[in-house]
Structure 1
């Protein structure tokens, strides 16, 4: 009887130990995403195996964001930190230093072919001088505006999660593949919408030059007074130059961005006679109740707004 009790007790201890070990492995991976688009990609890849903290939240502007003490705490506790790179997050190095994080810092634009910012209004980017290579070019950091690039981000996230949590690797890869299929469908829809717009009408105005990769990939022309970053105000000469170009290029639609003050766009609308066509989501998703709470919703919203404003539908 005593031997049976001891055997049962030993079995219970082994079972509890095994349960504790499996629970430890089931602890979600602590992930910090620099902004909402990356957080959405990470959720799609990580599923319930990851716990995600987002630094720059919905409708937030990563170009001018100032980190909080809570951000430093989240970074310090993280297993993996996912960032855009290409100087998109001006606050990043300061936050890494302040948090003394030991997490892997994963740059998701690895493997992306970067493009240079269009030079029409480059003087508005004087504050970005450190990134200009002596004032000659500015690399456009908004690579996620190309759906083909978004798939590279997703692949990089899956690889980072596999490295940090090998037991979940099959799950991460399967999730990434399923999401990539959804992105393929999305890309087909965006291309079809662009094709429905006459070539002569594919010129639109936005607040800052966040859509260079979209333009490069899908064939719209975007004009913007603020250049590649929102951290400097355009001069009166920049605005006058843009209004003149708008009239020359026969821009057909003008849009407010969710991350910027609408005043400048309203001024250009007034001076050019082009009606504001709606809001585009550029550097951040909307809140959960908004029209762009996921990357796929953001792309759907933007192309629907653009097509509707140009074609009047």
Structure 2
């Protein structure tokens, strides 16, 4: 069963809740300075879990935190992995420590302990480490565009390699760089069309957390560039062909510099690439889930308040410096507390 089909068959959680959960996870990921791969692996784990288990609203945030915890343990340095006490604090004590530990085991069992995943971030690194050096600003814009795709239903069905290629192609276009039309597949152009259309029509509805994150000079102010581009009416045109590209020279370093010299962030330079997994077959949903059983009088519905109200114009201008993680204060309310307790409508 695909992720889109499984979400449609869930009794309580709905697609309009996904952006709220992803926004929550992006902020945690940013605050703890976790590797880019960790965020993509987190959403991959969530999607696989949701495709095999019934998930109720009051456990949706718990699943998200457990997936992030698992992904961080797999991808990040030990000192950066949030503790179970951190998770309790982040969720404003909506769940006890034992709940995170139990959900971690439950998620791992459900996905059959298959953690290695060729993320969009891993594919982007490979695409940026060829013989032609990729401009750092283009890389940052591509990362911003890739993270946007994590929020929305229409991108779930596409492979990580397609997402990475589409984001990189659109990033080159927005930055005014030469296109490489020989690389652009039909699926790549389909993703670009979806992303370009969504940004053209709803650029002010983007996650405020994500826009703020990518507005720092550390990320070449990628969000500012993209938001301004679409607010001014910019659009991608697949029929727009620039002159045949010439091979550019590297921005810095010798001709023998390693591919990692074009990598993304300082914290990532010493990390290995993720492993390629084998995809397990999808077992049916299990009615005996410890997290799928609750009485009819304590199940929660999906209020409209579950979706965050976002206005891009409120984002403050960030300082021209590296990410000020030391000054990031995690203060958002727990998603669990946004739910209104009421009997589930049959």
Does the alignment reach a TM-score above 0.5?
no
Higher strand proportion, which one? 1
> Which of 1 and 2 has higher RCO (CA within 8 Å, sep 6+)?
2
Q: TM-score, normalised by structure 2?
A: 0.26
- Structure with higher Rg: it is 1
